[in-house]
Amino acid sequence: MSSDNRTYRNYINGAFVEANDYLEVRNPANGERLSRVPVSAGADVERALSAAHDAQPAWARLPAVERANYLRLLADRIRGEAKTLARVITEEQGKVSGLAEVEVNFTADYLDYMAEWARRIEGEIIESDRPGENIFLFRKPLGVVAGILPWNFPFFLIARKMAPALVTGNTVVIKPSEETPNNCFEFTRLLDQVGLPAGVFNVVSGDGASTGQALTASPLVDMISFTGSVDTGSRIMRSAADNITKVNLELGGKAPAIVLDDADIDLAVKAIRASRIINTGQVCNCAERVYVQRGVADEFADKIARAMADTTYGDPLAQPDIEMGPLINREGLDKVVAMVERATQDGAELLTGGRVADLGAGFHYQPTVLSGCRSDMEIMRREIFGPVLPIQIVDDLDEAVTLANDSDYGLTSSVYTRSLARAMHACREIDYGETYVNRENFEAMQGFHAGTRKSGIGGADGKHGLYEYTRSHVVYLET
C-alpha cells in the first residue's frame, strides 16, 4: 500500500467527486510519495456546505437513536480494518504502528461512546412564576458544522468532531490537514458503505489558506470546530466574526509537569518520558516542561536523561518495534532544531540528544533533555511539539504552580507527589483545564478536554463536549 500513488477524491453529497487541483502527500519517515488529494477551491467548499445545509433538516428529524446507529455500523467497519487503517496513518503521519492501532481502535470506541448518548440527550423543565405555565428548554442542533483537523491524531479527531455533531442532529463538512488526508478518505470510504444519507457527512481536502479559509468565511457554517495552532485559531476567529459563527477551538498547550520531593521518582520518570516521546512529542496534552523540586532534581534529571537516551526511533514501517517515528515535516523539524539551539545559547545544559538524527531521509530528531532551564527562556514558554524535555529546578510547590500558571497556554498539567494534601493544594491552585496526578497525560472520552487562556474556547468529549454541538430553545407554554 505504500507506493501505489493513490488518488483520492472529495466526498460531497454522498459521492466521490473530482477537483481541479491536487497536492501530493508524502511519508515523513522517508519522503516517499503516497497519494494525490484534492486542493478544494471555494466552489468545491460551497458545494459541500450546500449539501450539508440541505441534508440537515431531515437528518435532525430522525430519532437520535437512528442517527447513532450509523456511528455503530461505522465503528464495526473500522474495527474490521484496523490494521490497514493504522498503516495508512503511520505512512502519512509517522507515528509508530502500535500507537496508530491504538488510535484506530480508540476511534471506534469513541463512535460507540457518542452513539450511547442518543438516548441521553436531555432538555430541562423549569419552574415558572406564572400559574399554569410550563417552561421547557430543548436542546437543538446548530446546523452545519465545519471540522478543521490537524495532523497529529488525524483519524481520531474526525470522530471527535463528527460523532457528537451527528448524534445531536448536525451535518458536517470535514477538512483534514494537508499533511494527513489519506486516513480521512479511508474513514469516508467506510462511512459511505454504511448508507448514511447523502450530504450528512462531506469531506473537502486542501490547504488552510484556500480550502480552510473558504470554510470559515461561509455563512452556511453554524459552528467551526478546529484543532490546531494558536495563530490559525486566531485567524479562524477573525474569519468567523463576519458571520458571528460559533467557534470551538483546541489550540495546543505547554503542559507543565511538577515533580515534588516526595514523589515516586521512577513513576514520574516513566510517565513523563512516555508523555514526551508519544507521537514524537507532537501531542497537545503531553508534558512540555518540568518543574522539579530541588531535593530530587539530580536524581530525576539523571534518570529521565538515561530513559530518554534509551528511546528507539526510526522509520516505523521499516522497524515496527521502535518507540518513536519522525516529526511531521521539515518545518516541524526546523522549529525543534532552532528552539534547542536557542535554549543552549541561553544557558540550558544538554543532558542527552540535541541533534537531528541522520537516518538518511525523513525528519528525525533525537530524544532530548535540557536541564538548567529558566522560566524566561523560549523553550519553557513556547510549544515545542517534538521529543524535547526542558527541566527547571524549583524550591517548593507554590513556586512551581506560579511558574506553571505564568503561561499563554492552559490545557493540561500534571503533578507527582505521594501527599494527598499537596496534590489537592496543587489542583486548587493550578489554572489549567486538566490536571493529571501521578499518571501520564492522556484524557478519557468521558471527561472534558478543554483549555484556558490561548489553549482555546470550548472543549470536547463527555456530556459537556456533546452539548457544545447543540443550542437551547426555550418554550413558554401557557395552558
Active site residues: 250, 284
- Work out how close the CB of 385 gets to ligand TXE at its nearest, in angstroms, rounded to a whole number: 4
Site for ligand TXE contains 97 (CB under 6 A)? no
CB atoms within 10 A of CB 208: 18
Site for ligand TXE contains 208 (CB under 6 A)? yes
Using CB under 6 A, pick the residue from 54, 109, 207, 302 that binds ligand TXE: 207
- Work out how close the CB of 373 gets to ligand TXE at its nearest, in angstroms, rounded to a whole number: 18
Cβ(332)–Cβ(345) below 8 Å: no
The residue number with the shortest CB distance to ligand TXE is: 208
For the chain, give the number of residues: 479
Q: Which is nearer to ligand TXE, 411 or 423 (CB)?
A: 411
Q: Which three cell numbers stand for residue 423?
A: 496534590
Residue span 167-206 as binding mask against ligand TXE, x where in contact by CB under 6 A, dash where not: --------x-xx----------------------------
**Piece of the chain touching ligand TXE by CB under 6 A; list 109-117, 146-154, 288-296, 344-352:** 146-154
- Work out how close the CB of 212 gets to ligand TXE at its nearest, in angstroms, rounded to a whole number: 2
Q: Which is nearer to ligand TXE, 246 or 422 (CB)?
A: 246
Residues 55-81 as b or e (16 or more Cβ within 10 Å = b): bbeebbeeebeebbebbbbbbebbbee
- Work out how close the CB of 10 gets to ligand TXE at its nearest, in angstroms, rounded to a whole number: 15
Site for ligand TXE contains 251 (CB under 6 A)? yes
- Work out how close the CB of 106 gets to ligand TXE at its nearest, in angstroms, rounded to a whole number: 16
Site for ligand TXE contains 454 (CB under 6 A)? no
Site for ligand TXE contains 38 (CB under 6 A)? no
Q: Which is nearer to ligand TXE, 181 or 372 (CB)?
A: 181
Site for ligand TXE contains 289 (CB under 6 A)? no
Q: Which is nearer to ligand TXE, 228 or 353 (CB)?
A: 228
Q: Which three cell numbers stand for residue 394?
A: 524549583
Q: Which is nearer to ligand TXE, 152 or 414 (CB)?
A: 152
Site for ligand TXE contains 148 (CB under 6 A)? yes
Q: Which three cell numbers stand for residue 55?
A: 441534508
Count of residues in contact with ligand TXE, rule CB under 6 A: 27
Site for ligand TXE contains 12 (CB under 6 A)? no
Q: Which is nearer to ligand TXE, 148 or 404 (CB)?
A: 148
- Work out how close the CB of 192 gets to ligand TXE at its nearest, in angstroms, rounded to a whole number: 22
Q: Which three cell numbers stand for residue 165?
A: 455533531
351 contacts: CB under 8 Å, gap ≥ 6: 301, 305, 369, 370, 371
Q: Which is nearer to ligand TXE, 87 or 449 (CB)?
A: 449
Site for ligand TXE contains 373 (CB under 6 A)? no
Residue span 221-250 as binding mask against ligand TXE, x where in contact by CB under 6 A, dash where not: ------xxx--x--xx-------------x
Site for ligand TXE contains 44 (CB under 6 A)? no
Q: Which is nearer to ligand TXE, 134 or 229 (CB)?
A: 229
How large is the greatest C-alpha to C-alpha distance in the chain, in angstroms?
A: 79
Site for ligand TXE contains 336 (CB under 6 A)? no
- Work out how close the CB of 308 gets to ligand TXE at its nearest, in angstroms, rounded to a whole number: 20
Q: Which is nearer to ligand TXE, 213 or 402 (CB)?
A: 213
- Work out how close the CB of 432 gets to ligand TXE at its nearest, in angstroms, rounded to a whole number: 15
Handedness of CA 48, 197, 55, 240 (dihedral sign): negative
Using CB under 6 A, pick the residue from 149, 200, 430, 450 that binds ligand TXE: 149
- Work out how close the CB of 79 gets to ligand TXE at its nearest, in angstroms, rounded to a whole number: 25
Site for ligand TXE contains 452 (CB under 6 A)? no
| Binding residues among 385-444 for ligand TXE as defined by CB under 6 A | 385
Q: Phi-psi bin for 279: left (phi > 0), alpha (psi -120 to 50), beta?
A: left
Note the residues at the interface with ligand TXE (CB under 6 A). Answer: 148-152, 175, 177-178, 207-209, 212-213, 216, 227-229, 232, 235-236, 250-252, 284, 332, 383, 385
